[in-house]
């Protein structure tokens, strides 16, 4: 089942706080109509009553899609620096839910992919990339960041997010660290397949991408400071 809560959220532009309801636990098997809102970035966007700016609510949320074998703990972008402390607590929550939550019947649990992400854009990526080799994908991002470092720094981009594939071409969104999308870049599917076929080599180079629940190229990046999120 999905659960809901409410809290006071400050406007990122003027600082005025207002109360908003939000989804605390998202059951994708029952909220199918709202998954597209996550993928498009329209999910939980609100308007400040004081200055009129629109912004996205940032909060913790558990995303469960039992039939797809995906379970994601989403945290606000600003909590990324605590990833190493968050991972064990998320793993414990997941293990409890194996027993306690009807949304996860035992047959569906086997093979479930469990992830920790930071920001709605990263949750959208985890949904789109279901079935894609996550470790290989993050290794590819590091190669792309290395290939285009000067351009990305100039644009203020600190993160790449997978956004889909067409005609053997992978599309990545360029994001600031607070989840604001700046543009996109592409890469041939062959590059991903080459990495996936040689896990041993890439595991030696980037071991943190092959363990834990927070699988992210940002573990190996000198990241840019995030900017306020509004639009």
DSSP string, 66-97: GGGTEEEEEE-GGGGGGHHHHHHHHHHHHHHH
Mean per-residue pLDDT, 1-18: 95
The domain ranges of the chain are 3-128, 134-219
Rounded CA gap, 172 and 54, in Å?
Answer: 25
What DSSP designation does 218 have? G
Rounded CA gap, 178 and 79, in Å?
Answer: 11
Q: Indicate the pairing of strand 169-175 with strand 54-56.
A: unpaired
Rounded CA gap, 175 and 208, in Å?
Answer: 22
Give the confidence band of 224 by pLDDT, cuts at 50, 70, 90.
very low
Average predicted confidence (pLDDT) for the chain: 89
For residue 142, is pLDDT > 90? yes
Question: Residue 229: its pLDDT value, please?
Answer: 44
Do residues 152 and 174 touch, judged by C-beta distance below 8 A?
A: yes
Q: What is the value of pTM for the model shown?
A: 0.88
Task: Compute φ and ψ for 18, nearest 5 degrees.
Answer: -145, 155
Q: Is the dihedral of CA 178, 179, 183, 184 positive or negative?
A: positive
Please choose, from the candidates 28, 25, 47, the residue with its C-alpha nearest in 3D space to the C-alpha of residue 37: 28
Least confident of 86-90, 91-95, 122-126, 225-229: 225-229
Give the confidence band of 158 by pLDDT, cuts at 50, 70, 90.
confident
Least confident of 14-18, 69-73, 111-115, 225-229: 225-229
**Beta-bridge partner residues of 117:** 74
Rounded CA gap, 227 and 211, in Å?
Answer: 29
Question: Residue 47: its pLDDT value, please?
Answer: 97
Do residues 189 and 168 touch, judged by C-beta distance below 8 A?
A: yes
């Amino acid at each position: 089942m999905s659960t809901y809560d409410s809290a006071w959220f400050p406007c990122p532009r003027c600082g005025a706080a207002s109360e908003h309801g939000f989804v605390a636990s998202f059951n994708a098997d029952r909220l199918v109509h709202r998954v597209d809102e996550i993928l498009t970035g329209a999910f939980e966007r609100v308007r400040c009553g004081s200055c009129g700016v629109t912004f996205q609510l940032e909060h913790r949320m558990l995303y469960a899609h039992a039939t797809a074998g995906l379970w994601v703990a989403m945290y606000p972008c600003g909590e990324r620096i605590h990833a190493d402390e968050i991972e064990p607590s998320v793993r414990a929550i997941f293990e409890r839910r194996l027993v306690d939550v009807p949304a996860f019947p035992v047959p569906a649990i086997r093979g479930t992919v469990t992830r920790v992400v930071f920001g709605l854009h990263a949750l959208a990526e985890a949904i789109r990339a279901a079935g894609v080799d996550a470790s290989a994908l993050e290794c590819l991002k590091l190669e792309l960041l290395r290939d285009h470092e000067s351009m990305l720094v100039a644009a203020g981009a600190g993160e790449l997010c997978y956004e889909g594939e067409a005609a053997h071409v992978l599309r990545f969104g360029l994001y600031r660290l607070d989840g604001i999308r700046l543009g996109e870049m592409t890469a041939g599917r062959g590059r991903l397949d080459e990495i996936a076929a040689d896990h041993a080599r890439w595991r030696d180079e980037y071991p943190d991408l092959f363990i834990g629940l927070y699988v992210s190229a940002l573990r190996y990046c000198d990241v840019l400071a995030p900017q306020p999120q509004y639009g």
